[in-house]
Amino acid sequence: MAAGGQPGLAQSVFQVGGNFGQAVGPLAAALIVVRWGQTSLAFFALLALFSTVMLWFVATWYRHTASRG
């Protein structure tokens, strides 16, 4: 439903995004911790909180859209 009629493109974007995140996430964490110390990990906690809020909105949208039809 979120793919807008292009499920192949949606799956590709999903997979590339996931692989990119897995590859870059640890590198970014390491660079930030080396540069600003362990207290900078709060940045990643805020990023995780933001991602959780975004997923909550997507789940709410999906629940309302899927129930209509």
**Residue 22 in tokens:** 């897995």
Lookup result for tokens 């590339």: 16
Cα–Cα distance for residue pair 56/37, rounded to 1 Å: 31
Summarize pLDDT for 21-30 with one digit per residue, the tens: 999 989 988 8
Summarize pLDDT for 8-21 with one digit per residue, the tens: 999 999 999 999 99
Cα–Cα distance for residue pair 7/1, rounded to 1 Å: 9
**37 by DSSP, 3-state: which?**
coil
Cα–Cα distance for residue pair 20/58, rounded to 1 Å: 21
**What are the sequence ranges of the domains in the chain?**
7-68
| Position 32 confidence tier, pLDDT thresholds 50, 70, 90 | confident
Q: Which residues contact 50 (CB under 8 A, 6 or more apart)?
A: none
**pTM: predicted TM-score of the whole model, two decimal places:** 0.58
